[in-house]
């Protein structure tokens, strides 16, 4: 089964996704695919919080900021990819010194994520719903938002279940699973 979980930033998506991954794995192998590459102290604190949160849940953590399908390396199990948002950032801007976006990033992300949906026993993807407000952003930000929307749209097409977390509510947009 493949599950896409979306919603606003810092609203419990990761904890929710971890619980779903544990249930889907039914005692089998579980992998937490951490995509965030820390750039500052706030990032490091967030990573530490996530590590502490899943400490006794039986996840093997794989830190993969780019080339996401490399997490498969011949293993079987349930893969929780957290997050698609960070993965895209890493792929679009592989060097913090370059202000130019890599125009092949979206394609690489989609191809890698689709490999996971095809080969993993179960996959749970966490993403941020950042592309629906009416604010006009600069072209740099708009390109990132548009790119994330394209990836999320493709994942929503192939996932069995699509869930949005909004203000403490769990909204099923496609499929369903027993929570």
CATH for 131: 3.40.50.300
Burial of 46 (0-12, 13-18, 19+ CB in 10 A): middle
The pTM of the full predicted model, rounded to 2 decimals, is 0.92
pLDDT tens-digit map of 40-57: 898 888 888 888 888 899
pLDDT tens-digit map of 125-163: 999 999 888 888 998 889 999 999 999 999 999 999 999
Print the domain residue range for 90: 14-138
Supply angle C-alpha 48, 20, 32, rounded to 5. Answer: 40
Asked if the structure places residue 152 within a domain, the reply is: no
- CA dist., res. 97 & res. 68, Å (int): 22
Supply angle C-alpha 131, 134, 136, rounded to 5. Answer: 90
Domain count, the chain: 1
Asked if the structure places residue 99 within a domain, the reply is: yes
Contact in structure between 51 and 38 (CB atoms under 8 Å): no
Which of 49, 3, 53, 54 is closest to 30 using CA atoms?
A: 54
């Amino acid at each position: 089964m493949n599950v896409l979980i979306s919603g606003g930033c810092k609203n419990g998506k990761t904890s929710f996704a971890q619980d779903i991954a544990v249930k889907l794995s039914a005692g089998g192998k579980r992998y937490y695919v951490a995509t965030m590459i820390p750039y500052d102290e706030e990032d490091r604190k967030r990573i530490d919080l996530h590590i502490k949160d899943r400490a006794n849940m039986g996840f093997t953590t794989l830190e993969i900021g780019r080339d996401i399908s490399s997490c498969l390396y011949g293993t079987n199990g349930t893969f929780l990819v957290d997050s698609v948002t960070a993965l895209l950032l890493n792929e679009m801007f592989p060097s913090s010194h370059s202000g130019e976006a890599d125009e092949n990033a979206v394609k690489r992300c989609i191809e890698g994520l689709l490999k996971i949906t095809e080969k993993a026993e179960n996959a749970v993807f966490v993403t941020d719903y950042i592309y629906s407000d009416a604010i006009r952003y600069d072209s740099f930000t708009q390109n990132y938002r548009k790119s994330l929307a394209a990836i999320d749209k493709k994942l929503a097409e192939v996932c069995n279940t699509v869930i949005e977390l909004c203000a403490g509510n769990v909204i099923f947009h496609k499929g369903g699973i027993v929570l």
